[in-house]
């Protein structure tokens, strides 16, 4: 310590800092299935592409994966058997686009990007979003896979809708997936990227709560709730029971906490604690996880329960981390 405060030591320290490689490009995303999405995003980031292009490409991987029943194709339907998708995207200039309750379109994130680029609006929903997608060349597809349909029909026989439970009820009452922190009890991929030009972008996409009420929309497509990025500060995203995230405007809260000097992990922790403070007993029965990254390329996460994971990809890191948790 004393050496560093000395003349030559301080110069040496400054020299090391001056030549230290930047922490970007880097991409982070929610859950372990974010690894594959990160690798797709990295193809763009490593060739000096924009962060918004990277996140749009990255989250399309789980959107088109029929084995992932919480995002896109093969997503769990609502209680009427309809797969409805939500997504949003945001760039470094505060531009944002979103869709909600969109049916028949495999990649809602691409439609959200077009809302950003081609309309004066931020969000289109339901039939309006579908009409916009079809007018821009998208084709209708059946998003309900045999597996998701079979699970839904089984749920109709044996389960009841319990929105207080963590995320989808697709594994409802199965011993291999205890509530509320099991690895299957998650939805949504949220992704934040910092590109080689030090600009940030974010995306979030989901099929939402399984067997939800017709027309239900959670936090994922809501700018400031499921996703928020600010090119001066960083970005944040969430996964879990979206209603609780919306009530605290979670992602925006986290970005503002980082603006005021909190680390990504600490900002996420404070957001989780706000949920607990509002409804301490309810918080014990649900899962919410937050993930954040600042403009230094520092990242962190925090969740209500154990089980929330996040994936990181940079030049030096390719790893899945387990988030710290409140309970």
Active site residues: 188
Asked whether the beta carbons of 29 and 37 are under 8 A apart, the reply is yes
In SS3 terms, 204-269 reads as EEECCCCCCCCCCCCCCCCECCCEEEECCCEEEEEEECHHHHHHHCHHHHHHHHHHCCCCHHHHHH
> CB within 8 A of 249, min separation 6: which ones?
224, 225
Distance CA 214, CA 92 (A): 34
SS3 labels along 4-52? HHCHHHHHHHHHHHHHCCCCCCEEEEECCCHHHHHHHHHHHHCCCCCHH
For 23-325, CATH number out of 3.60.20.30, 2.40.30.10, 3.80.10.10, 3.20.20.80 equals 3.60.20.30
Per-residue pLDDT 10s for the chain (327 aa) are 333 344 444 334 444 344 456 789 999 999 999 999 999 999 999 999 999 999 999 999 998 876 665 566 667 899 999 999 999 999 999 999 999 999 999 999 999 999 999 999 999 999 999 999 999 999 999 998 888 888 888 888 876 655 444 343 333 333 444 433 334 444 689 999 999 999 999 999 998 888 889 999 999 999 999 999 999 999 999 999 999 999 999 999 999 999 999 999 999 999 999 999 999 999 999 999 999 999 999 999 999 999 999 999 999 999 999 999 999
List Cα–Cα distances, 254 to 5, 106, 136, 223, 317, in angstroms: 35, 30, 35, 13, 24
- 299 beta partners: 293
Q: pTM, whole model, 2 decimals? A: 0.87
**Can you list the pairs that 92-97 forms with residues at least 24 positions away whose Cβ atoms lie under 8 Å?**
92/50, 92/51, 92/52, 92/199, 92/200, 92/201, 92/229, 92/231, 93/231, 94/230, 94/231, 96/122, 96/223, 97/122, 97/123
């Amino acid at each position: 310590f004393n050496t560093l405060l000395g003349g030559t030591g301080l110069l040496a320290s400054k020299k090391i800092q001056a030549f230290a490689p930047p922490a970007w490009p880097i991409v982070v995303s929610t859950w372990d299935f974010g690894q594959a999405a990160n690798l797709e995003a990295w193809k763009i980031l490593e060739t000096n592409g924009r962060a918004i292009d990277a996140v749009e490409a990255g989250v399309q991987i789980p959107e088109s994966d029929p084995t992932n029943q919480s995002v896109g194709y093969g997503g769990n339907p609502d209680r009427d058997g309809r797969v409805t998708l939500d997504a949003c995207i945001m760039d470094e200039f505060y531009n944002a686009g979103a869709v909600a309750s969109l049916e028949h379109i495999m990649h809602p994130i691409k439609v959200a990007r077009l809302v950003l680029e081609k309309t004066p609006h931020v969000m289109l929903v339901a039939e309006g979003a579908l009409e916009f997608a079809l007018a821009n060349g998208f084709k209708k597809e059946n998003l309900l896979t045999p597996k998701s349909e079979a699970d839904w029909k089984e749920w109709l026989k044996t389960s009841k809708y319990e929105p207080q439970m963590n995320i989808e009820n697709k594994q409802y009452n199965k011993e291999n997936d205890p509530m509320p922190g099991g690895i299957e009890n998650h939805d949504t991929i949220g992704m934040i990227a910092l590109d080689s030009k030090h600009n940030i972008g974010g995306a979030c996409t989901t099929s939402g709560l399984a067997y939800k009420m017709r027309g239900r929309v959670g936090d994922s497509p809501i700018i400031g709730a499921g996703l928020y990025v600010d090119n001066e500060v960083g970005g944040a995203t969430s996964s879990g029971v979206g209603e609780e995230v919306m009530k605290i405007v979670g992602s925006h809260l986290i970005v503002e906490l980082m603006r005021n000097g909190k680390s990504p992990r600490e900002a996420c922790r404070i957001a989780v604690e706000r949920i607990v403070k509002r409804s301490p007993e309810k918080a014990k029965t649900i899962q919410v996880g937050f993930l954040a990254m600042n403009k230094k390329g520092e990242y962190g996460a925090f969740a209500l329960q154990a089980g929330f994971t996040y994936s990181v990809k940079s030049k030096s890191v390719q790893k899945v981390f387990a988030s710290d948790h409140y309970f």
